[in-house]
Structure 1
Amino acid sequence: MPRRRDPHQLSLFPDGDGNGGLEDGGSRSRREPGVGLAMPDPADVRLAERIPASVRLGTSSWAFPGWEGLVWDRRATEGELARSGLAAYAQHPLFRTVGIDRTFYAPLSAEQFARYAADAPSDFRFLCKALDAVTSATLPGRGAVGGSRREPSPHFLDATYATDTVVGPFLAGLGDRAGPLVFQFVPLPREMAREPQAFVERLHRFLTALPRGPLYAVELRNRNLMIDAYRQALSDAGVAHCINVHPTMPTPAEQCAAAPPETMPAVVIRWMLNSTHDYTSARERYHPFDKLVDEDLHSRTAIAAACVEAAARRQPVYVIANNKAEGSAPLTVRRLAEEIVRRVAAADV
């Protein structure tokens, strides 16, 4: 199945780590020279032609100087890439989506989202994380240092607040380039995590109160919440489970068994963190994110299988890879693309 965007037509000047856009929402200063796309690897172009059109691959943010040669045509600062790198990133043959993490920490306006959309082709999609005030039961208290004191979030699972502050600007700004809106829940407080049924019921009320239309996904950090009632709640609300590769969660294959992708409106996957590290140690080991260090073949195999199975169902797929998954998100995407194409070819035999 061919891709809708011709990967040969490339223009050099068209969350996580790296700020996915600064205060100007990713727009480029008129006086600042653009960052261009490195000459595409012919192998990447061939892979892009063979990936099913319904499968979108990308990375978690883009502002990483260490990607020089892999993505960027020159050395650039993180700030330059945050401001002017998206247009080049979006022309990479393998990248048809990107994850924006900054929306987890502060709300963006419709105008800021619109500036992102203006830097991407019409077939590109943005995966955005919802504001943490909606998905974190507690937030750092005023004057707290290092998270030492937490206070209840007044907007936790508040559908009205989420609609006005998160969903509305997301849709108004990105328009048809809006991809999944992911509600990523941090680990719940101990007393709340002990009552998974109560949490799932509250989650269901929240999801069913949101405006219809966007592709919503839920990402967990407590494995004990993946009970059958969770699957039923998502199915009833028409919401996807975001399969995530993270040490606190079951494997991708186990998550697929607990929340079968075929029951979801789309397959949404975030390949975030190698199981042998926490975020700090992974950053120290993998920086500047220019090579694969700890390849995760089990996750790659499971994710590729989920992608190919979903493509056979003509189900939309979004996969976001983090630098901390294996060492370099662009190379993780390349290896995943190779495995997807291999499986597609085998299925066609």
Structure 2
Amino acid sequence: MQSGTIRAGIGGWTFEPWEGTFYPDDLPKKRQLEYASRQMPTIEVNGTYYGSQKPAVFAKWASEAPDGFVFSLKGNRFVTNRKVLSEAAESLGRFLGSGIAELGDKLGPLVWQFAPTKKFDPEDFEGFLKLLPEKQDGIPLRHVLEVRHASFVVPEFAALARKYGAAICYAHHFTYPEMADVTADFVYARLQRGEDSIPTAYTPGDLDQWASRARTWAEGGMPGDLPLADETVKIEPRPRDVFVYFIHEGKIRAPQAAQALMERVR
């Protein structure tokens, strides 16, 4: 059976508690990305949400990571933290033109994160989706929508995401809405209920379940045990790349979680 590529990773690579628990004790800080990118196939970069980077920085990241590695980038907050989303064109252009194309084929999905207070306004949200380009400097772009207000859990939102080929981020979170609707040619999940007291953040049994769900997504299906915004839609069964990030709670053990999931899906 044909299958997309499953990649599991973490958020960022600089985190002091990882020194000695994930990174070797004697590893210099400047070599942390080089090391982390060889222990897992992807990392989600949070820093791009808070501030812009220069082209040389993206080029440096690309040079330090091996072939086949993928960076997912959080879109800048000035794009999404606004009352009228359809007025984001200038901020969007500034972020996309900041040098992200320097990552080349290591550029993964762009994650557009919305505030928990941001409610679903179909007209304004479609105005935002219309702004998202398919390419930047010749590099194909993939867009992820990370929404955090319950008003988005409606068939209209899933239909809009599907219309524009953007993935709805599946958030395994204690308070954010969970939607596992497949709306793009890839799947993006953020697993945020880990615990530092568990050596792999999630229990082995939970990781077995997530590995099974990831394989289902990669083979073109939708797991039958996750909530949907629209339960009536049948998706086209075709291979899809899958990105799974262990992030937020249980962060100290997130690298071990990502490695454990990759062991299960290989």
TM-score range, shorter chain: 0.7 to 0.9
- CA drift at 1:186: 1.5
Structure 2 partner of 1:210? 132
- CA drift at 1:336: 2.5
Tell me which of the two structures has the higher relative contact order, counting C-alpha pairs closer than 8 angstroms and 6 or more residues apart: 2
Equivalent residues of 1:159, 1:210 under 8 A apart: no
Choose the corresponding residue for 1:168, options 97, 109, 113. Answer: 97
Structure 2 partner of 1:271? 191
Matched, 1:240 2:167: yes
Cα deviation 1:10-52 (Å, max 9, x = unaligned) = xxxxxxxxxxxxxxxxxxxxxxxxxxxxxxxxxxxxxxxxxx7
Choose the corresponding residue for 1:306, options 213, 217, 239. Answer: 213
Structure with the bigger percentage of strand: 2
Matched, 1:315 2:240: yes
Aligned length: 243
Query: Amino acid of the residue matched to residue 108 of structure 2?
Result: G
Change (3 A) 1:273 1:90: same
1:219 & 1:323 partners in 2: Cα distance? 14
Query: Amino acid of the residue matched to residue 164 of structure 2?
Result: A
1:170 & 1:202 partners in 2: Cα distance? 28
Cα deviation 1:293-331 (Å, max 9, x = unaligned) = 863678645532331012223211111112624751012
Aligned CA-pair RMSD: 2.9
> Following superposition of structure 1 onto structure 2, how do residues 136-285 of structure 1 map, counting pairs within 5 Å?
136-137=81-82, 156-188=85-117, 193=119, 196=120, 199-212=121-134, 213-251=140-178, 255-256=179-180, 259=181, 261=182, 263-274=183-194
> SS at the partner of 1:272?
strand
- CA drift at 1:211: 1.5
Cα deviation 1:195-248 (Å, max 9, x = unaligned) = x3xx23212221222221300000011122121111111111111111112222
Choose the corresponding residue for 1:337, options 239, 242, 262. Answer: 262
Structure 2 partner of 1:54? 5
> SS at the partner of 1:322?
strand
> Following superposition of structure 1 onto structure 2, how do residues 45-84 of structure 1 map, counting pairs within 5 Å?
54-68=5-19, 70-75=21-26, 81=29, 83-84=30-31
> SS at the partner of 2:148?
coil
Structure 1 partner of 2:38? 91
Q: Where do 5+ consecutive residues of structure 2 fail to align?
A: 135-139, 221-238
Q: Where do 5+ consecutive residues of structure 1 fail to align?
A: 2-51, 138-151, 275-281, 342-349
Identity, % of aligned pairs? Answer: 24
Change (3 A) 1:157 1:134: farther
Q: Which has the larger radius of gyration?
A: 1
Cα deviation 1:126-175 (Å, max 9, x = unaligned) = 011011111123xxxxxxxxxxxxxx6xx845342243222223542212
Change (3 A) 1:182 1:299: farther
2:108 & 2:32 partners in 1: Cα distance? 20
> SS at the partner of 2:96?
helix
Change (3 A) 1:234 1:317: same
TM-score (norm 1): 0.62
2:189 & 2:41 partners in 1: Cα distance? 14
Equivalent residues of 2:109, 2:141 under 8 A apart: yes
